[in-house]
Structure 1
Amino acid sequence: MKTINFFKKYSLVALLASGCLFTSCDKDEVVPEEENELEVITDVKLVFTNTADGTDVVTATAQDPDGPGLKDLEIKDAINLGVGKTYLLTYEIMNNLEEPGEDIGEEIAGEADEHQFFFGFTNNAFSNPEGNGNIDNASDAINYKDEDNNRNPVGLTTEWTTSATAVSAGEFRVVLKHQPGVKTSTSGFNDGDTDFDLKFVLNIQ
């Protein structure tokens, strides 16, 4: 009986050890995760075009010559708009680390179901949309002029009518969110990752 128990005991130990070995091998197998890389962006230009006068164009830029290095995008200009005017806001978004430069705006348009722009601004700086933007509340009004295949807003084109009251040293914040597998009709600023987050000085005179 003792001999049988001895073999039973050590047979069980061997079986457990081999099981651990197989389990260990399974754990060592690394399953590659799906990558959702952020865009490499070195230059962002906001282009405000007066809808009543296409020659009235206001631009503001941010630059990061080293790309994903030590520096972030740095604001180069204030946004200076006219009182009581309506503007279409579009962008030039580039990765100029590439030669020739890569148009990231085209990439965003091609992946519209993974991207959305969110906005924050000095309260009532605009008569349309009113309020202070949709960063704090995704359902707040923004005049998006484009949408993805799911009919959710993107923001490569938006419309803005400035207040009849002058604004000095206000703020205009624009945030591009990267939301693969996350973007829905109710997703907001806190969902996904941030491609860029820019705060411009806003003057309306």
Structure 2
Amino acid sequence: MRTYSKWMLLAVVAGSLAACNKDDEDDHQDENELITTVKITLKNNQNAADSSVAIWKDLDGEGGQNPVIDTLKLKANTVYVGKIQLLDESKNPVDNITEEVAEEAVEHLFVYKPSAGLGLSIERTDKDKNNLPIGIATKFTSTAAATGNLEIILRHQPGTKDGTETPGSSDVDVFFPTKVQ
């Protein structure tokens, strides 16, 4: 009976330790990165000297101070080649989240939504290993002068990515005031 109790106690302790280790691993895997900065850089396809950079920055995270947001300014009837960059500037050195998104491309999709009447179309020009769009690299095509907003969403879609916005959850969802002039 005594031997049985020792073995039972050992089994309970071992099972508890294994459960703790698994929970710790799951918690680590499910951690969301803090994204404090979204930077969009666009270069005129015909004139590399003509570029536009807009930054959305919220260093204290959700619920604190309001984010600082640049206006994205584009010329009418112009094609731009673009890149998006995600950063966690709460760390030193700054953590480039874009690299992680690129490494896990089969689980991520950037969605670009210009407001109605903005006169802007966006094409994602990079693909993951399954030939589905990612959206780190883009082509922006502006038409007539207009103002509005550009919503940028990073969808996290592990095991469900199908090239559409629907599956998964949002890692980031920001708006840039946008002027096509």
The match for 1:179 among 145, 153, 157 is: 157
What residue number does 2:34 align with? 40
Aligned to 1:195: 171
- Contact 1:36-1:180 at 8 Å conserved across structures: no
CA distance in structure 2 between the aligned counterparts of 1:175 and 1:73, rounded to whole angstroms = 18
* 2:56 is the alignment partner of 1:66: no
Question: Are the aligned partners of 1:75 and 1:198 in contact in 2 as well (CA < 8 Å)?
Answer: no
1:167 to 143, 146, 151: 146
CA distance in 2, matches of 1:53, 1:71: 40
2:100 to 75, 98, 107: 107
Shift in alpha-carbon separation, 1:72–1:115, aligned structure 2, 3 A: farther
**Relative to 1, partners in 2 of residues 1:113 and 1:71: Cα closer, same or farther, differing over 3 Å?**
farther
The letter of the residue matching 1:167 is A
- Amino acid corresponding to residue 102 of structure 1 in structure 2: D
Which structure 1 residue ranges, 4+ long, deviate > 4 Å from structure 2? 28-31
Aligned to 1:143: 123
Aligned length: 161
CA contact (8 A) 2:36 2:87 kept: yes
Distance 2:87 2:66 in 1: 12
SS of residue matched to 1:54: coil
Match of 1:79 in 2: 72
Cα RMSD for the two superposed structures = 2.3
Quote the Cα distance in structure 2 between the aligned partners of 1:72 and 1:115: 28
What percentage of aligned pairs have identical amino acids? 29
Q: Which blocks of at least 5 consecutive residues in structure 2 are unaligned?
A: 1-11
Change (3 A) 1:72 1:192: farther
Using the alignment, how far apart are the partners of 1:179 and 1:75 within structure 2?
Answer: 28
- Alignment partners' CA distance in 1, 2:34 and 2:116: 32
Q: Deviations over 1:115-166 (max 9, x none)?
A: 1001111335346x3xxxxxxxxxxxx5211011111110001101100x21
SS of the equivalent of 1:109 reads: helix
Q: TM-score, normalised by structure 2?
A: 0.78
| Superposition TM-score, scaled by structure 1 size | 0.70
Higher strand residue share:
2
Kept after mapping to 2: 8 A contact 1:75/1:199:
no
